[in-house]
Amino acid sequence: MTPAAGAASAGGQVRLGLRENLPQFSLLVAVNALVGGMIGQERTVLPLLAERVFGLSTFSVATTFIVAFGATKAVTNLATGVLTDHVGRRPVLVLGWLIGAPVPLLLIWAPSWGWVVAANVLLGINQGMTWSTTVIMKIDLVGPDRRGLALGLNEAAGYGAVALTALITGNIAARHGLRPEPFYLGIAFTALGLGLSTLFVRETRHHAEHEAAATEPAPVDAGFGSLFARTSWRDRSLSAVCQAGLVNNAVDGLAWGILPLLFAAEGLSVGRIGVIAGLYPGVWCVGQLFTGAWSDRAGRKPLIVAGMLVQGAALCLIATATGFRAWAVGSILVGAGTALVYPALIAAVGDIAHPSWRATAVGVYRLWRDAGYVVGGLLGGIVADAFGVRTAVWVVAALSAASGILVARRLE
């Protein structure tokens, strides 16, 4: 069967739409849940490993795994956007799973922190290839009318798996220790993701070509340099989306690498830290089931602005509060703000970019967005070492609020 035939619906015609491509769309949702689970295996356990197993005494060193992950994933996102436009979506997806296969084994056997950092370099490549590709493939399948809904479902699946896996690994670690049992899930996720992607996922680039043929020609030079500049700074709307994505993932980097250490320092058990670590992506997951479709009706801009402001307010609550209940409420609110922002940002890129260069634009956006992990990890670690963890939370809260104001001014 040729890729074109694999993409075609009944009658041999490529058709756009969620209902028309529901089996493949649902399969890609399941694959992205497995992608999210690969991150979830680290959310609760890795910051505690840094402190309790490897004896890292400074926040800036303890967050090096996030910096390595974010930098690698950001660059891989960019390469993935270009690759999927040239060689197709499915080969990149399969390659991403192959590169991610050693990650849980490295985390289990790591004799030094350098091994953990190396594992997160591979995880960054894995996530950049697999998550970016499933996003692009869903955009290909559904066409322009239900883009927000499709991306809401995609991100909900991914971050629902992050939340559930963070909760499960926290419970496993509380019962059996920080290694090796929590990372057995990662081995299972890799095997399932690689098997589904190899055997059942079909190529979708022909759907993008079909949409492009029915769309007015792209009004810009389609060279990579021109597209990179247009997405990053020349286009007011796209540049606003890119900076908001960067700040949003700086918030996520703080929540991943710094907040568990704050909660542990205040005496919370590993199990309770796991609950809080799971609440944030859990609310993020469930919320996106509604906010993606909501952005199709209300527009992207109101949800992005509101979400960035809610994130900032929630981080202020976490910075000032003490105790499990208050921090749980703060985590829930951070998740709610992120649910407003996340699918609307990616959908906005899909709205603005022409189908012929959309995958590249998505790759550029995801480059800047995941550079936020580097910003969050470095900024959070340095400020926490110099002025304390709560001050680091305040700084990232201010960044989130400022980002929302900038989107309100620039996004058209």
**Per-residue model confidence as pLDDT tens digits over 203-240:** 998 888 888 777 666 555 567 888 899 999 999 999 99
Contacts of 142 (CB under 8 A, 6+ apart): 16, 17, 18, 21, 25, 149, 150
pLDDT, tens digit only, all 412 positions of the chain: 333 333 443 345 788 888 889 999 999 999 999 999 999 998 888 888 988 889 887 888 878 888 999 999 999 988 998 888 888 999 999 999 999 999 999 999 999 999 999 999 999 999 999 998 998 899 889 877 777 888 888 888 888 898 899 889 989 999 998 999 999 999 999 999 999 999 999 999 888 888 877 766 655 556 788 889 999 999 999 999 999 999 999 998 888 888 988 998 888 888 888 888 888 888 988 898 889 889 988 999 999 999 999 999 999 999 999 999 999 999 999 999 999 998 899 889 988 888 778 878 888 998 999 899 889 888 988 999 999 999 999 999 999 999 999 999 999 8
Tokens of 345: 């940002």
Angstrom distance (rounded) from CA 181 to CA 45: 11
The dihedral through the CA atoms of 189, 192, 198, 200 has a sign that is negative
Domain ranges across the chain: 17-210+224-410
> Would the pTM count as exceeding 0.75?
yes
Cβ of 195: how many Cβ atoms within 10 Å?
12
Angstrom distance (rounded) from CA 19 to CA 10: 13
List the end-to-end C-alpha distance of the chain, in Å, as a whole number. Answer: 43
Encode pLDDT of 355-371 as tens digits: 778 878 888 998 999 89
Residue tagged 């979708």 (tokens)? 204
Residue tagged 């322009």 (tokens)? 144
Angstrom distance (rounded) from CA 151 to CA 142: 10
Angstrom distance (rounded) from CA 299 to CA 412: 10
The architecture CATH gives domain 17-210+224-410: Up-down Bundle (1.20)
Considering only CA atoms, which of 231, 154, 214, 152 is closest in space to residue 356? 214
Tokens of 382: 């340095």
3-state percent breakdown (helix, strand, coil) of the chain, nearest 5: 85, 0, 15
Cα three-residue angle 221-224-225, rounded to 5 degrees = 85
